[in-house]
A and B are shown apart, each in its own frame.
Chain A
Amino acid sequence: MSEVPNELHFTAEHEWVAGTEDPNIYRIGITDFAQSALGDIVYIQLPKKGLQVSTGVICGEIESTKSVSEIYSPLTGEVVRVNESLEAAPERINSDSYGAGWIAEIKITGPLPELMSAEKYRQITA
């Protein structure tokens, strides 16, 4: 069973969204289910800092030993921080997808899109 923390929100593309101290800034990453399905992650192309993104657009790539997957922005806004440590240590996404494996922080412009609760996400990945 994959881990699904109660305090996070989720997308159907297996990304998570967490609030930060700044009410307009949200941290994003991929879920434990996603990292497990991908297998050993060996490369990440991070979104660029300053990039304007909107919900559902491709903003990066994650590559494992066996395949590549795109990162879809779960939010609309501006990328204000990226987890550059992943470039040298992408395996952090495998070992700690909700912590040290976070991918980016986005400052939202406009309302939050509709996201899944932990309970709902558990149902679709059960």
Chain B
Amino acid sequence: MAKDYATSDKFSVMKSPLYDWHRAVSAKMADFGGWEMPIEYPKGVNGFSGGTLSEHYAVRERVGIFDVSHLGKISVSGAGAKDFVNTMVTNDLAKIAAGSAQYNLFCNHDGGVIDDLIIYEFSEDKIFIIPNAANCEQVFLDLAGKAPSQIVVKNIHQDYAVFAIQGPDSRRVIAKLGLELDLGYMEFTKIALPSFPEFGEIIICRTGYTGEFGYELLPEWDSAEKLWQVLVNEISEFDGRVCGLGARDTLRTEMGYPLHGHELSLEISPVQASVNWAVVYEKDDFVGKRALEKEKQVGPKQISRALKCEDRGIPRAGMKVLNLEGEVIGQVTSGTFSPTLKVGIALALLKPEYKVSGKVQIDVRGRLSNATIVKAPFIPSRVR
């Protein structure tokens, strides 16, 4: 049994402003993109009834809060900031206005994905970007290197914390903060809390990574722990849970959402991944456009598909996928036990001829598990 335990003491570099809080409640910690972050909270210690399953169900049925402060933050400001950023990403920022956010891919000239990110438009001259923790520096360097002289790009990774409030009761948690927000999906505001003006203004966006109705809150770094404590107290009324990145991963996998480094990478283009919807080919030039157009025309050599197991196997990243004749046709990029469906589920890159409702097999450590190709998400989205 000795091998697979997550340990917290190696390679730790960056710390969330809640690091001491997580340690004090005995969260299980692990490295995420260079940040030491909570995987799950304990069962039966300090009043917690956590664990990945319990945290997952809380989000699907009630509400859960996550510390995702490891996510990157970049500001781009100056005349024409929006137009400049729009040349660097695949989606079209012209489709949004101030006060809205948009999912985007940040590609290289070969169409490889440097990162996927959420872009917030404060104004045409002020853009705020949330990349993944591990890719923040690279995205910052690319933007800073290409920005015209009147535009200032700043890596402000540690100016803000990021908290996600997710689940059907998240609206009530926001109401308890004294806020009456009428934000549509992917809309945001920057506002102070009436009861806690001393926390300063908080960016609040109707977004998330779980498939449930929810918000992401960005308080200033120095106010983060105080706001967190307020949220922890408030969710108790709804039998909510503090949730770790373990539950975040099972929740996003059930939605078929890509995770950079798994479903998207420098080698896995948006055409192959399930995010071609976030590439606007009609847009004027953007980095990677020609390569992506060409790949789309020729047809991708592999396509990301969702697989649902029919027996008790649990797929994991890297496992081979075979057709019924036993030929290797691809590999799993993310796999887990689905707490909602109670079976193994996977996202896998397969040869393009294998389509929805086809039957495949997954090599689970030498045993073949039967699976069906299904249409993602595995369970219906309730983000709106």
A42 touches B5 (CB 8 A): no
B52 touches A66 (CB 8 A): yes
CB-CB contacts below 8 Å: B29-51 with A: 39-40, 42-43, 51
Q: Which A residues touch B312, using CB under 8 A?
A: 43
A68 touches B4 (CB 8 A): yes
A65 touches B246 (CB 8 A): yes
Find the residue from B2, B40, B365 having the highest chain A CB count within 10 A. B2
A34 contacts chain B at the CB level, 8 A cutoff:
yes
Contacting B52 at CB < 8 Å: which of A12, A15, A40, A69? A40
Digit string of A65-88 for contact with B (CB within 8 Å is 1, else 0)? 111111110000000000000000
B1 touches A43 (CB 8 A): no
Digit string of B299-319 for contact with A (CB within 8 Å is 1, else 0)? 000000000000010101000
A4 contacts chain B at the CB level, 8 A cutoff:
no
B128 contacts chain A at the CB level, 8 A cutoff:
no
A30 contacts chain B at the CB level, 8 A cutoff:
yes
A66 touches B43 (CB 8 A): no
Digit string of B5-44 for contact with A (CB within 8 Å is 1, else 0)? 1100000000000000000000010000000000110110
B337 touches A43 (CB 8 A): yes
B250 touches A65 (CB 8 A): yes
B323 contacts chain A at the CB level, 8 A cutoff:
no
A72 touches B1 (CB 8 A): yes
Known: A39-B28, A42-B314. A69 touches B3 (CB 8 A): yes
B339 contacts chain A at the CB level, 8 A cutoff:
yes
B4 touches A69 (CB 8 A): yes
A71 to B1, CA, bound (A): 6
B53 touches A30 (CB 8 A): no
Q: Which A residues touch B53, using CB under 8 A?
A: 40, 42, 65, 91
Digit string of B113-136 for contact with A (CB within 8 Å is 1, else 0)? 000000000000000000000000
A14 touches B51 (CB 8 A): no
CB distance from B67 to the nearest CB of A (A): 18
B223 contacts chain A at the CB level, 8 A cutoff:
no
Contacting A39 at CB < 8 Å: which of B3, B52, B314, B365? B52
B336 contacts chain A at the CB level, 8 A cutoff:
yes
Q: Which B residues touch A30, using CB under 8 A?
A: 1
B40 touches A39 (CB 8 A): yes
Contacting A65 at CB < 8 Å: which of B1, B3, B5, B337? B337
A67 touches B4 (CB 8 A): yes
A42 touches B337 (CB 8 A): yes
Q: Which B residues touch A12, using CB under 8 A?
A: 2
Known: A42-B337, A65-B246, A65-B337. A37 touches B5 (CB 8 A): yes
A64 to B249, CA, bound (A): 14
A94 touches B337 (CB 8 A): no
Q: What are 25 A-to-B residue pairs whose CB atoms are below 8 Å?
A: A12-B2, A13-B2, A14-B1, A36-B42, A37-B6, A38-B1, A39-B40, A39-B51, A39-B246, A42-B314, A42-B337, A61-B365, A63-B314, A65-B53, A65-B250, A66-B6, A66-B52, A66-B246, A67-B4, A68-B316, A69-B1, A69-B4, A70-B3, A91-B53, A94-B43
Return the 5 tightest CB-CB contacts between A and B, nearest first: A14-B1, A37-B5, A65-B52, A40-B53, A67-B4
